[in-house]
Homo-oligomer: A and B are copies of this chain.
């Protein structure tokens, strides 16, 4: 039996479900039930990312996961609008939503929405990703929605002289330059995935000892090595993870944190080189982070070594971004004028 108390009933009366918002990536799905103002009434998590569906897409894999995750919210026959962002709009997704080019604003995303009808007749609105074309093209799917969610709740970055900077640490870390409510350009660093590949599939992992303790000093040492002695490049510095161990300067249980610091340090060193060509610098910059708290905390430590001391994490960027785009697309109407 489901527990219900008076305050929950009261809240439910005030906040009627108005939107199902999906953040559907490669390895996970997060689903939110929102009211018209974007208040989260309920949420569900599933490991059925687009590469991890219980049955192939051609056999209704997406429908199955959608029903299993969101079915309870629709049990009363409610016809809620559904919005989705992330790899669900890729060529391997439910339906491909072609990339929108930079500079990109929410209106461009809305114009690029594609619609897929579920077996039960609901329309799922899939938000497109963003492409920056060129000699080194960059793509994102999902992060554009988080970025607009962050901008909806934090206008600090609008006043940054060279454009605001938003970092999204992770498997494929993104750094986006935003101004006038647009994503002007962005960069991808394969930091998280490269760390995993080096730790699990090269000689560097062999001398590491796993531990639950995060060694901040070893992490900072890695960051500083990349910052101060990283001119030879990452292929050179990573070998020190092993040789500092061989020479008794780094314990086995410190080596993973050191390597993590090295890679994040190389990411920030590279980002700083990019910024330098735009007459900007991480030192003294105000920026924002989106991502899980522990990882953002690591990045704040690393950013501080580069002279950046104002790098707060923006919470709830995903839900806010999905709500904002749904509003702009006319899928819901807010009684407030905030958006």
Contacts and interface: CB of A to CB of B under 8 A. Distances in A.
A235 B137 contact: no
A201 B197 contact: yes
A178 interface: no
Which of A131, A197, A263, A271 has the most chain B CB within a 10 Å cutoff? Answer: A197
A337 interface: no
Contacts of A203: 172, 193
A111 interface: no
A266 interface: yes
A233 B273 contact: yes
A238 B187 CA distance: 12
A231 B197 contact: no
Interface stretch (A60-68, A160-168, A210-218, A243-251): A243-251
A148 interface: no
Contacts of A231: 270, 273-274, 277
A105 B187 CA distance: 46
Interface in A192-236: 193-194, 196-198, 200-204, 225, 229, 231-236
A136 interface: yes
Chain A contact residues: helix, strand, loop or mixed = helix
A255 interface: no
A237 to B, nearest CB: 7
A193 B200 CA distance: 12
A318 interface: no
A238 B232 CA distance: 17
A263 to B, nearest CB: 7
A133 interface: yes
Nearest to A264: B235
A273 B197 CA distance: 26
10 contacts: A136-B236, A137-B244, A137-B247, A188-B239, A193-B203, A201-B201, A232-B270, A233-B270, A234-B234, A236-B274
Interface of A: 131, 133, 135-139, 172, 187-191, 193-194, 196-198, 200-204, 225, 229, 231-240, 243-244, 246-247, 249, 263, 266-267, 269-271, 273-274, 277
